[in-house]
Each structure stands twice: as C-alpha cells, then as structure tokens.
Structure 1
C-alpha cells in the first residue's frame, strides 16, 4: 500500500467517506436545514441565544441549589450543634 493510499484511507476513516462525498453531503444537508430554518423564521442568533439562555439557567439553578443547601445546613446546625455540644459536656461530666 502506498503512502498516498494509507493517507487517503485514514482520511476516509476520519471523515466517514471520501472527502468530496462528505463535502457534497454536508453542503446538501446544510442547504436543506437552512431552508427549513428560514421557512420557520429561525436564524443562527436565535439558536445561539437559546443555548446561551439554557446554559445560564442551568448554572444559575446549580449555584442557587448550592446556596440553598448551605442555608438549610446552617439552619439545621443552629439546632444540632448546641444539642451535640450539650450532650458531649453532659457525657464528659458524668464520667
């Protein structure tokens, strides 16, 4: 096998077919998807903004959940820690 055949074979494996065939399929699929999105009045900025909003909503939800977790933990600790401390002191004094 020549180096050209090996290189072209590796390229075909990476791309999933011959480079020209893959390019033609991508152009046709891009045109069809673009036509459908244009008919639905959707532009690339709408799609990017939608992903950006979803990402921000997820991160905000995550950070709010973490903050809420610590708030709940502090509220519980206000009760639990003094009781635990009191129980430890009683146990030490009773020995």
Structure 2
C-alpha cells in the first residue's frame, strides 16, 4: 500500500452533552466570557453614571442629564450665535449699504 492509497483520518467532533450545548460551549469558557463582558458593560454603565444598587434612580438621572445636556447645547449655540451676530450683521448691513450703489 502506498502513501497515496491511504485515506485521511477524519476527526469526529466531540459529542456535546445537553448542558454544554445549552450554554454554547464549555461551562468554564462561557463563564469566563460572561465575566469579561459583564465587566466591560459595567465600565460603560459606570461611565454614564449608573449605580447598580439603585438602577431606577440611575435611569431617571440619565434621562435628566440628557435632557439638560440638550438644552445646554441650545443655550451654548444661542450664545455663540448672538456673539457672532454682533459682528456679522453690522458688517453685512454696511457692505449692503456701501457696496452696491445703483448704476446710472
């Protein structure tokens, strides 16, 4: 028998029990992934001000901060508009008055 006549040995996947199939992998690997994902999500939630001991209050505060941030942005935009308009509008008006004389 030559080397070409041999059939390659096919690796059979291990038979997963019902529990591992339910988890989506080995219990240790799934637990490790869940721990890492929980820490990552916890960091993100802590960054936006969530408190695990009072989640409803944290959600309410989050919406209040978003609401206030929206109105602060409008206030900020309005102040810069007024500041710029103090310079831009008079210059525009003067350029319209003195820049375009009627042709004779």
Normalised TM-score (structure 2): 0.46
Q: Which protein is richer in helix relative to its size?
A: 1
Larger RCO, structures 1/2 (Cα 8 Å, 6+ apart): 2
Residue in structure 1 matched with residue 82 of structure 2 by the alignment: 74
User: Which runs of structure 1 show a deviation greater than 4 angstroms over 4 or more consecutive aligned residues?
Assistant: none
Other structure's SS at 2:101 match? helix
Gap runs ≥5 in structure 2? 1-51
The number of residues matched between the two structures is 52
1:1-95 alignment runs, 5 A limit: 42=53, 46-93=54-101, 95=103
> CA-atom RMSD, angstroms?
1.7
